[in-house]
């Protein structure tokens, strides 16, 4: 895959470049190593029979490439309690797919709500002093059009972050929009 756009929120790109150059380089290596394949046959009314890029296959390739470079899952488990209530809900958790040192990475090929929830998770781990920066890897609009309906695109995320200004997320984030590298296409 290839990077088609990058967005730095609250200095996320600069923090990676200066404080975490190895992780920054590895993220680009991983993106370049992923080879999306047109293997999903659509059953959706508007695209019946059309071959699409398979998000599960792409996610699996990202997972293997990040794990190979020493990235692991980060998970905080806790019990949920609310003020003025005796209710206790055990076993709740926040989880990030890939972390190395204090760099959080999420690859989001799902619905838009999950992209925005990743920002909340970055905020959570930043507030818990377990992270310095988050990286969100998402499809660009052109790639989204070649995937199942329901997949979101990074341009919408960047648009919304820009309008929220510095208020949310209040954590440094780098958003990377990806697309298929035509030279790699199968």
Residue 45, Cβ neighbours under 10 Å: how many? 7
**How does residue 165 score in pLDDT terms, banded at 50, 70 and 90?**
confident
Burial 110-129 (b: 16+ CB within 10 A, else e): bebeebbebbebbbbbbeee
pLDDT attached to residue 184: 62
pLDDT attached to residue 185: 55
Using CA atoms, how far apart are residues 95 and 11, in angstroms rounded to an integer? 23
* pLDDT greater than 60 at residue 186: no
The dihedral sign for the CA sequence 10, 13, 17, 22: positive
Are the C-beta atoms of residues 161 and 7 closer than 8 Å to each other?
Answer: yes
* pLDDT greater than 60 at residue 153: yes
Are the C-beta atoms of residues 118 and 152 closer than 8 Å to each other?
Answer: no
Provide the token pair at 49. 């029979």
Radius of gyration of the chain (CA): 17
CA–chain centroid gap for 13, Å, is 15
Span 119-144, pLDDT tens digits: 999 999 999 999 999 999 999 998 98
Using CA atoms, how far apart are residues 85 and 91, in angstroms rounded to an integer? 18
Please compute the mean of the pLDDT values over residues 18-30 and round it to a whole number.
98
**How does residue 168 score in pLDDT terms, banded at 50, 70 and 90?**
confident
Structural class in CATH, domain 2-179: alpha beta
The dihedral sign for the CA sequence 60, 66, 70, 74: negative
Nearest to 100 by CA among 12, 179, 21, 38: 21
Please provide the average confidence, as pLDDT, over all residues in the chain.
91
DSSP 42: P
* pLDDT greater than 90 at residue 151: no
Please compute the mean of the pLDDT values over residues 17-44 and round it to a whole number.
90
Provide the token pair at 65. 């490439």
Of the listed ranges 43-57, 77-91, 164-178, the least confidently predicted one is 43-57
């Amino acid at each position: 895959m290839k990077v088609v756009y990058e967005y730095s929120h609250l200095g996320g790109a600069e923090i990676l470049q200066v404080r975490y150059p190895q992780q920054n380089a590895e993220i680009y290596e991983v993106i370049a190593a992923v080879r999306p394949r047109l293997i999903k046959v659509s059953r959706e009314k508007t695209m019946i029979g059309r071959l699409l890029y398979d998000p599960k296959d792409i996610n699996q390739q990202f997972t293997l490439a990040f794990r190979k470079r020493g990235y692991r899952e980060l998970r905080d488990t806790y019990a949920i309690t609310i003020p003025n209530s005796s209710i206790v809900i055990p076993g709740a958790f926040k989880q990030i797919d890939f972390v190395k040192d204090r760099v959080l990475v999420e690859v989001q090929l799902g619905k838009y709500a999950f992209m925005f929830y990743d920002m909340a998770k970055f905020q959570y781990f930043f507030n818990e002093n377990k992270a310095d920066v988050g990286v969100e890897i998402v499809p660009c609009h052109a790639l989204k059009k070649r995937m199942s309906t329901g997949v979101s695109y990074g341009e919408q995320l960047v648009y919304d972050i820009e309008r929220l200004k510095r208020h949310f997320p209040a954590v440094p984030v780098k958003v990377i929009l990806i697309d298929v590298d035509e030279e790699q296409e199968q």
